[in-house]
Structure 1
């Protein structure tokens, strides 16, 4: 009995999943960003450090508050899916959000698969994890439509927006679970279409298994982008092209096969790449989802960075870094498990440690 109670207490202590951050500040021509990243729950044979992840967050926030921080970006999977089974989702989320309240800067939240294991889209829209109010309003008022004004309820719409922390540099957050069976009511059109697509591509009894699949990204814990969202992205990038902006795109799931495992790709990653490669403004795509990270420079000069996670990082180490943004390059100064990397914009050489 005593051992059982101890195991239960340990399980409750481990409810908070690691989290992912992006932090920025500007100094004249130099723009510095600090990142700390973690990803979703992995197989049991891999060691995870849930409690230490929260400690990493606390120490990072203390450090960030001592600097002139402009914003923080949370890459998704803010709590683990096991909370839903234990009826502890709101409690676990509350613990993490209490830490976020200590930040002096605004936080941009991305939604990952573990958000949808715990909550519906309707819930998330009414929660602190919905940060679309931070989007760039000037862009929207010029000539392009706001994709959330379609009249659809939260179960059908996609959660994507863009913002400009400094002049001529735009960030775009994508919804990598727009096409997915996670988080949507089974009666919705998108759920039904997503389930049909998933079953066409994956005949396994366990839809989270890639066994025998030709396109191994078609598993339940991944998702994709609707044509409506890709059309919206195309409009944003067209605007950025015309205004000679640099663009960094972010989503929970990687979109280039050379930057991740073949089972940790967006379902229709090729469609997303097609849109991105048709615009010269995009310089980088940042993602989480995969705990051991990855990187590639594609043939169009776009850097794809899958950031290492603190979930597999022991307490004596870390997994975050500082990104310095210049007119011709971004420099990632890694800490702990994250490598140093210089990412030149198109036409420049890239190298890493």
Structure 2
């Protein structure tokens, strides 16, 4: 065996490998800073993605089966008259990968385009503009992509029932006039912000059915959502509103082995009470020029190895029995 990127690389071949990246948040605007003062490199982020795709396509490495983008491909500060062009530009960069690319929607995507325009560009083909789906790259594994903005104040037309439910929810949970402000909210209550959202009832029922079927098929499941699902891997401000409800459902089964997320740009990793790994990916947007944040993931029967590049930390995720 050998050491690579801080991880032990064993001689056996993985069942399959895939690429990961999150929060590219490209915009053709000068560099800026987050609300907390963290530098953001809007024009450089497309170069991070370009180098990632070149690496993923490298003939000197074993071929990747697919790539997963954890959301937010264009930034909310992107000029609105450039939104469609910018989203299409980044989607085309992803499309230069030699294989399938699975996208999920993030809040910044939704600041730029409505669902009916966004989902076709991302090739998310679901009925009624829903953005949750699943796929099985090999019979032993199933990937489930959740729509964390199913119930959301920013993701649907103003007269949509999901918008009304989200607005009513925020009025109840967040007393601030600015619903993106956590001032006065304590602990995990700080997740009740307008740029987050929830998984709705029908999606929960769908997830329950998928997990039940995966259990019968003896499949291992990897759950993916733009919004993190565990407080120990994320800042409270970035969590899915009803992460606890989702994880209570997940914990009824033993098939879910890992959860991948974006949104909280600094990244994080935790193992929850049921032994499920939660890996929040570091953002491509916050890479200074010349640095990167993307990864290659090797999947084995008993573990997942994330080999991170530069700012993305390598992580070994050994499955609980």
TM-score of the two chains, using structure 1 as the length reference:
0.80
Q: Hey, what does 1:20 align to over in structure 2?
A: none
How many residues of Structure 1 are paired with residues of Structure 2 in the alignment?
A: 298
1:70 paired residue among 65, 70, 76 = 65
2:38 paired residue among 37, 46, 50 = 46
Higher mean displacement: 265-274 or 96-105: 96-105
Asked if 1:169 is matched to 2:162, the reply is no
Q: Hey, what does 1:128 align to over in structure 2?
A: 121
List aligned pairs for 1:161-310, cutoff 5 A: 161-214=133-186, 215-310=189-284
Q: Distance in 2 between matches of 1:250 and 1:92?
A: 24
TM-aligned CA deviation for residue 82 of structure 1: 1.6
Tell me: higher relative CO, structure 1 or 2? Use CA pairs within 8 A at least 6 residues apart.
2
Aligned residues of 1:252 and 1:288 also touching (Cα < 8 A): yes
1:37 paired residue among 6, 13, 22 = 22
Q: Distance in 2 between matches of 1:251 and 1:276?
A: 14
- CA deviation vs aligned residue, 1:23-77 (integer Å, no higher than 9, x gap): xxxx965322232333668327211112221111112222222342321111111
Aligned residues of 2:24 and 2:46 also touching (Cα < 8 A): no
Task: Look up the SS of the partner of 1:322 in the other structure.
Answer: strand
Structure 1 moving runs of 4+ over 6 Å: none
TM-aligned CA deviation for residue 202 of structure 1: 0.7
Q: Distance in 1 between matches of 2:269 and 2:301?
A: 22
Q: Distance in 1 between matches of 2:243 and 2:94?
A: 31
Task: Look up the SS of the partner of 1:35 in the other structure.
Answer: strand
- Structure having the higher Rg: 1
Q: Hey, what does 2:3 align to over in structure 1?
A: none
Aligned residues of 2:214 and 2:220 also touching (Cα < 8 A): yes
TM-aligned CA deviation for residue 132 of structure 1: 3.4
Asked if 1:311 is matched to 2:305, the reply is no
Q: Distance in 1 between matches of 2:67 and 2:307?
A: 17
List aligned pairs for 1:91-106, cutoff 5 A: 91-106=85-100
Q: Distance in 1 between matches of 2:311 and 2:43?
A: 18
Q: Distance in 2 between matches of 1:187 and 1:123?
A: 18
Q: Hey, what does 1:80 align to over in structure 2?
A: 75
Q: Distance in 2 between matches of 1:63 and 1:49?
A: 21
Aligned residues of 1:287 and 1:305 also touching (Cα < 8 A): yes
TM-aligned CA deviation for residue 159 of structure 1: 1.5
Aligned residues of 2:18 and 2:68 also touching (Cα < 8 A): no
Q: Distance in 2 between matches of 1:321 and 1:74?
A: 11
Task: Look up the SS of the partner of 2:39 in the other structure.
Answer: coil
Q: Distance in 2 between matches of 1:29 and 1:80?
A: 35
Task: Look up the SS of the partner of 2:167 in the other structure.
Answer: helix
Q: Hey, what does 1:145 align to over in structure 2?
A: none
